[in-house]
Amino acid sequence: MENWYLIVGLGNPGVDYAQTRHNAGFLLVERLADRWRANWELERKFQSRVAKAERDGRRVLLVQPQTFMNLSGEAVSAVSGFYRVPPAQVLVVVDDADLPLGELRLRPGGSSGGHHGLESVEQHLATREYPRLRIGIGRRDAAVREITGHVLGKFGADERELFAQVLAKAGEQVGCWLGAGIQKAMSQFNGPATDQPKQKDKP
Protein backbone atom coordinates (compact mmCIF):
# COMPACT_ATOMS: atom_id res chain seq x y z
CA MET A 1 0.00 0.00 0.00
CA GLU A 2 1.11 3.57 -0.67
CA ASN A 3 1.81 5.93 2.20
CA TRP A 4 -1.42 7.90 2.60
CA TYR A 5 -2.46 10.88 4.69
CA LEU A 6 -6.06 11.11 5.83
CA ILE A 7 -7.95 14.38 6.35
CA VAL A 8 -11.36 13.72 7.87
CA GLY A 9 -13.95 16.48 8.17
CA LEU A 10 -16.62 15.58 10.72
CA GLY A 11 -20.25 16.57 10.28
CA ASN A 12 -23.73 15.28 9.59
CA PRO A 13 -24.90 14.26 6.09
CA GLY A 14 -28.03 15.61 4.44
CA VAL A 15 -29.43 18.96 3.35
CA ASP A 16 -30.86 19.71 6.80
CA TYR A 17 -27.33 19.95 8.20
CA ALA A 18 -25.54 21.59 5.29
CA GLN A 19 -23.89 24.92 6.15
CA THR A 20 -24.47 24.48 9.89
CA ARG A 21 -21.81 25.26 12.50
CA HIS A 22 -21.54 21.58 13.47
CA ASN A 23 -20.49 20.81 9.89
CA ALA A 24 -17.35 22.97 9.98
CA GLY A 25 -15.26 19.87 9.28
CA PHE A 26 -17.35 18.98 6.24
CA LEU A 27 -17.05 22.54 4.94
CA LEU A 28 -13.26 22.54 5.21
CA VAL A 29 -12.67 19.27 3.35
CA GLU A 30 -15.15 20.39 0.68
CA ARG A 31 -13.09 23.55 0.25
CA LEU A 32 -9.87 21.53 0.05
CA ALA A 33 -11.35 19.15 -2.52
CA ASP A 34 -12.43 22.11 -4.64
CA ARG A 35 -9.01 23.81 -4.42
CA TRP A 36 -7.14 20.58 -5.07
CA ARG A 37 -9.51 19.54 -7.90
CA ALA A 38 -10.34 16.27 -6.17
CA ASN A 39 -13.57 14.50 -7.06
CA TRP A 40 -15.87 13.05 -4.41
CA GLU A 41 -17.10 9.47 -4.61
CA LEU A 42 -19.47 7.69 -2.25
CA GLU A 43 -17.60 4.66 -0.84
CA ARG A 44 -20.28 2.55 0.80
CA LYS A 45 -17.79 0.09 2.30
CA PHE A 46 -16.37 3.02 4.28
CA GLN A 47 -19.74 4.72 4.92
CA SER A 48 -18.04 7.84 3.58
CA ARG A 49 -17.58 10.27 0.75
CA VAL A 50 -13.93 10.10 -0.31
CA ALA A 51 -11.82 12.31 -2.57
CA LYS A 52 -8.20 11.54 -3.52
CA ALA A 53 -5.55 14.19 -4.08
CA GLU A 54 -1.79 14.70 -4.11
CA ARG A 55 -0.12 17.59 -2.25
CA ASP A 56 3.59 18.19 -1.66
CA GLY A 57 4.33 14.70 -2.97
CA ARG A 58 1.93 13.12 -0.48
CA ARG A 59 -1.11 11.04 -1.35
CA VAL A 60 -4.10 12.42 0.50
CA LEU A 61 -7.56 11.07 1.21
CA LEU A 62 -10.25 13.64 2.02
CA VAL A 63 -13.11 12.00 3.90
CA GLN A 64 -16.64 12.95 4.95
CA PRO A 65 -18.14 10.21 7.13
CA GLN A 66 -21.81 9.60 6.31
CA THR A 67 -22.49 7.89 9.65
CA PHE A 68 -23.66 11.03 11.46
CA MET A 69 -21.39 12.76 13.93
CA ASN A 70 -21.66 10.46 16.94
CA LEU A 71 -20.59 7.39 14.92
CA SER A 72 -17.79 9.07 12.97
CA GLY A 73 -15.20 6.65 14.31
CA GLU A 74 -16.73 3.76 12.38
CA ALA A 75 -15.91 5.46 9.10
CA VAL A 76 -12.50 6.77 10.19
CA SER A 77 -11.47 3.30 11.37
CA ALA A 78 -12.68 1.68 8.14
CA VAL A 79 -10.78 4.07 5.84
CA SER A 80 -7.59 4.24 7.90
CA GLY A 81 -7.56 0.47 8.35
CA PHE A 82 -8.01 -0.27 4.66
CA TYR A 83 -5.29 2.16 3.56
CA ARG A 84 -3.08 1.37 6.58
CA VAL A 85 -2.83 5.00 7.65
CA PRO A 86 -1.13 5.35 11.06
CA PRO A 87 -2.93 7.57 13.61
CA ALA A 88 -0.23 10.27 13.35
CA GLN A 89 -1.25 10.74 9.69
CA VAL A 90 -4.99 10.95 10.40
CA LEU A 91 -6.06 14.59 10.79
CA VAL A 92 -9.61 15.02 12.12
CA VAL A 93 -11.30 18.40 11.63
CA VAL A 94 -14.14 19.38 13.98
CA ASP A 95 -16.16 22.34 15.20
CA ASP A 96 -15.51 23.57 18.75
CA ALA A 97 -18.03 25.69 20.64
CA ASP A 98 -15.51 26.34 23.42
CA LEU A 99 -13.26 28.26 21.02
CA PRO A 100 -14.28 31.74 19.87
CA LEU A 101 -15.66 32.01 16.35
CA GLY A 102 -12.69 32.47 14.05
CA GLU A 103 -10.07 30.66 16.12
CA LEU A 104 -8.09 27.59 15.06
CA ARG A 105 -6.37 25.07 17.31
CA LEU A 106 -4.34 22.18 15.91
CA ARG A 107 -3.02 19.58 18.36
CA PRO A 108 -1.17 16.25 17.88
CA GLY A 109 -3.46 14.45 20.34
CA GLY A 110 -5.40 14.88 23.56
CA SER A 111 -8.86 14.43 24.99
CA SER A 112 -12.13 14.71 23.10
CA GLY A 113 -13.18 17.72 25.19
CA GLY A 114 -16.69 16.29 25.22
CA HIS A 115 -17.00 16.34 21.40
CA HIS A 116 -18.97 13.21 20.50
CA GLY A 117 -17.36 12.90 17.09
CA LEU A 118 -13.87 12.85 18.60
CA GLU A 119 -15.05 10.43 21.29
CA SER A 120 -16.14 8.02 18.57
CA VAL A 121 -12.86 8.38 16.65
CA GLU A 122 -10.88 7.77 19.83
CA GLN A 123 -12.93 4.67 20.60
CA HIS A 124 -12.50 3.13 17.15
CA LEU A 125 -8.83 4.01 16.68
CA ALA A 126 -8.14 2.93 20.27
CA THR A 127 -5.92 5.95 20.83
CA ARG A 128 -6.04 9.67 21.59
CA GLU A 129 -2.79 10.22 19.72
CA TYR A 130 -4.06 11.46 16.39
CA PRO A 131 -3.98 15.08 15.15
CA ARG A 132 -7.14 17.14 15.44
CA LEU A 133 -7.90 20.60 14.10
CA ARG A 134 -10.59 22.42 16.07
CA ILE A 135 -12.43 25.23 14.31
CA GLY A 136 -13.98 27.68 16.76
CA ILE A 137 -17.71 28.33 16.33
CA GLY A 138 -18.20 30.13 19.68
CA ARG A 139 -21.33 30.00 21.77
CA ARG A 140 -24.06 32.52 22.41
CA ASP A 141 -23.81 32.38 26.20
CA ALA A 142 -20.75 31.02 27.99
CA ALA A 143 -22.88 30.06 31.00
CA VAL A 144 -25.24 27.86 28.99
CA ARG A 145 -24.02 24.30 28.46
CA GLU A 146 -26.94 23.12 26.29
CA ILE A 147 -25.89 24.38 22.87
CA THR A 148 -27.53 21.94 20.46
CA GLY A 149 -29.57 24.67 18.81
CA HIS A 150 -26.48 26.80 18.34
CA VAL A 151 -24.20 24.17 16.82
CA LEU A 152 -26.94 22.85 14.53
CA GLY A 153 -27.84 26.36 13.41
CA LYS A 154 -26.54 28.04 10.28
CA PHE A 155 -24.03 30.87 10.34
CA GLY A 156 -25.61 34.30 10.57
CA ALA A 157 -25.05 36.94 7.93
CA ASP A 158 -22.58 38.70 10.22
CA GLU A 159 -20.59 35.47 10.68
CA ARG A 160 -20.27 34.23 7.11
CA GLU A 161 -17.47 36.54 6.01
CA LEU A 162 -15.41 35.73 9.08
CA PHE A 163 -16.00 32.00 8.65
CA ALA A 164 -14.86 32.20 5.03
CA GLN A 165 -11.57 33.64 6.35
CA VAL A 166 -11.44 30.82 8.91
CA LEU A 167 -11.78 28.16 6.21
CA ALA A 168 -9.11 29.84 4.09
CA LYS A 169 -6.62 29.92 6.96
CA ALA A 170 -7.53 26.38 8.05
CA GLY A 171 -6.83 25.21 4.50
CA GLU A 172 -3.39 26.81 4.66
CA GLN A 173 -2.79 25.17 8.03
CA VAL A 174 -3.65 21.74 6.64
CA GLY A 175 -1.28 22.34 3.75
CA CYS A 176 1.46 23.29 6.21
CA TRP A 177 0.78 20.13 8.23
CA LEU A 178 1.22 18.03 5.10
CA GLY A 179 4.30 19.83 3.85
CA ALA A 180 6.18 20.88 6.98
CA GLY A 181 4.76 18.87 9.87
CA ILE A 182 2.48 19.50 12.80
CA GLN A 183 4.81 21.62 14.95
CA LYS A 184 5.25 24.28 12.28
CA ALA A 185 1.55 24.15 11.39
CA MET A 186 0.66 24.79 15.04
CA SER A 187 3.15 27.60 15.62
CA GLN A 188 2.36 29.37 12.37
CA PHE A 189 -1.44 29.15 12.25
CA ASN A 190 -3.00 28.43 15.65
CA GLY A 191 -5.02 31.38 16.90
CA PRO A 192 -7.50 33.87 15.39
CA ALA A 193 -8.01 33.45 11.67
CA THR A 194 -8.01 37.20 11.10
CA ASP A 195 -4.35 37.44 12.17
CA GLN A 196 -1.64 37.17 9.56
CA PRO A 197 0.53 34.03 9.71
CA LYS A 198 3.36 34.49 12.20
CA GLN A 199 5.99 33.74 9.58
CA LYS A 200 6.25 35.07 6.05
CA ASP A 201 6.91 31.73 4.41
CA LYS A 202 3.80 29.81 3.44
CA PRO A 203 3.25 26.07 2.91
> Where are the chain's structural domains?
4-192
Tell me whether residue 124 is one of the annotated catalytic residues: no
Q: Looking at residues 146-169, what average pLDDT do you find?
A: 77
Q: What φ, ψ does residue 93 adopt, rounded to 5°?
A: -110, 125
pLDDT band at 132 (very low <50, low <70, confident <90, very high): very high
- Please state the pTM of the whole predicted model: 0.89
pLDDT confidence of 197, banded at 50, 70, 90? very low
Q: Give the confidence band of 46 by pLDDT, cuts at 50, 70, 90.
A: very high
The most confident of the ranges 129-133, 140-144, 196-200 is 129-133
Interacting residues of 142 by C-beta distance below 8 A, sequence separation 6+? none
Q: Spelled out in words, what is the top-level CATH class assigned to the domain 4-192?
A: alpha beta
Q: What's the average model confidence in pLDDT over 139-148?
A: 52
Average pLDDT, the chain: 89
Of 121 and 22, more confident = 121
Q: Cβ neighbours of residue 26 under 8 Å, at least 6 residues apart?
A: 9, 10, 11, 12, 18, 64
Select which of 22, 115, 116, 150 is catalytic: 22
